[in-house]
Amino acid sequence: MTIPSEEPAWKQRAVERSTKAAKLRAEKRVQRFLDAAQAIITDKGTTDFTVQQVVDRARQSLRSFYQHFDGKHELLLALFEDALLGATEQIQVAAASQADPLEALRLAVQRLFELCRPDPADPRPLFTDFAAQLLTSHPAEVKAAHAPLLTLLTELMTQAGQAGRLHPGTKPRRAATLTMQTVMFIAQSSGVSGGESDDPVTATEVWEFCSSGFAQ
């Protein structure tokens, strides 16, 4: 009789429990670092901080930090991805309040602009400072981070096209990509010193500019 070579079921269960427990502990440690970094950003209104400051705020060890992140850049990237995902969820909620597909797209575009532009009362350095740096230094990570937002805008653009609200021949994903990049660039540039601070660009103006290229 051949004896099965597989590990006993009790051993598999024990390993699975151990692995699951370790995963949960790691997730909690990662979240502590993220929360600490976000708190520092909120306090300072900038992404100018050190890894040691994050470690001290999280009450964790430097060794533990580098077990989960390659460095400050990867930590900021994680925060940036979370911020973009949160923004995407807010935009989706806003768009869902409209039955008309083009109105839903309008609200999405205007909300995206509002969430990305600098606001003295609510600084967003992850969008206004770090995003611009990331675009040139790590384009692949930028593309991945923006994927959920681009998917949402593409869906809204597709629905508007199916309702006959777009110019014939408009490619939803291409139009969504151009719109997303245009809106975010204008929003992130609107707080640059020396700009038209006395007559700032509005969300309505941004929508009218972008929609003139695809809406009818």
What is the per-residue pLDDT across 163-194, written as a single tens digit (0 to 9) for each? 999 999 999 999 999 999 999 989 887 755 44
Q: In terms of domains, do 90 and 181 share one?
A: yes
Band (pLDDT 50/70/90 cuts) for residue 18 is confident
Q: In terms of domains, do 209 and 167 share one?
A: yes
Question: Within a 10 A sphere around the Cβ of 176, how many other Cβ atoms?
Answer: 24
- CATH number of the domain that residue 58 is part of: 1.10.10
Please tell me the least confidently modeled range out of 11-20, 23-32, 95-104: 11-20
Specify the length of the chain in residues.
216
Q: In terms of domains, do 113 and 41 share one?
A: no
What is the per-residue pLDDT across 78-88, written as a single tens digit (0 to 9) for each? 998 998 999 99
1 domain-assigned:
no
Phi-psi group of 194: left, alpha or beta (phi > 0 → left; psi -120 to 50 → alpha; rest → beta): left
- CATH number of the domain that residue 204 is part of: 1.10.357.10
First to last CA, the chain: 77
The structure's pTM equals 0.80
Could you list the residue range(s) of the whole structural domain that residue 129 is in? 73-216
